Amino acid sequence: MARLPMYRQIADAIKEKIQSGEYKPGEALPTEAQLREAFSVSRVTVRQALKLLVEQNVLESIQGSGTYVKENKVNYDMYEYSSFYEKLSHLDVKTHSEILAFEITTPAPAIAEALEINEEDRIFYVKRVRFIDENPVTLEETWMPLSLFPDLTYEVMQGSKYVFIKGTKKMVIDRSEQEIIPVLPPQEVVNQLGIPADQPIIEKVTKGYLVDGTVFEYSRNYFKSSDYKFTLVAKRNHHY
pLDDT tens string, the chain, 240 residues long: the values are 567 889 999 999 998 888 788 888 888 889 899 999 999 999 999 999 999 998 888 888 887 778 888 876 554 444 444 444 444 444 556 778 899 999 999 999 999 999 999 999 999 999 999 888 888 989 999 999 999 999 999 999 988 888 898 888 999 888 888 898 999 999 999 999 999 999 889 899 999 999 899 999 999 999 886 665 655 555 565 554
Domains of the chain: 6-69 (1.10.10.10), 74-231 (3.40.1410.10)
* pLDDT score recorded for residue 34: 92
DSSP label at 159? S
* pLDDT score recorded for residue 176: 86
Q: Do the Cβ atoms of 102 and 65 come closer than 8 Å?
A: no
Q: Do the Cβ atoms of 213 and 193 come closer than 8 Å?
A: no
- CA count, 13 A, side-chain hemisphere, 149: 28
DSSP β-bridge partners for residue 104:
124
Q: Do the Cβ atoms of 89 and 82 come closer than 8 Å?
A: no
Q: Do the Cβ atoms of 124 and 152 come closer than 8 Å?
A: yes
Q: Do the Cβ atoms of 98 and 128 come closer than 8 Å?
A: yes
* pLDDT score recorded for residue 143: 97
* pLDDT score recorded for residue 102: 97
Cβ density class 112-138: b for 16+ within 10 Å, e for less: bebbebeeeeebbbbbbbbbbeeebbb
Pairing mode of beta strands 228-231, 135-145: unpaired
Pairing mode of beta strands 215-223, 228-231: unpaired
* pLDDT score recorded for residue 17: 86
Pairing mode of beta strands 228-231, 173-183: unpaired
* pLDDT score recorded for residue 49: 93
* pLDDT score recorded for residue 77: 46
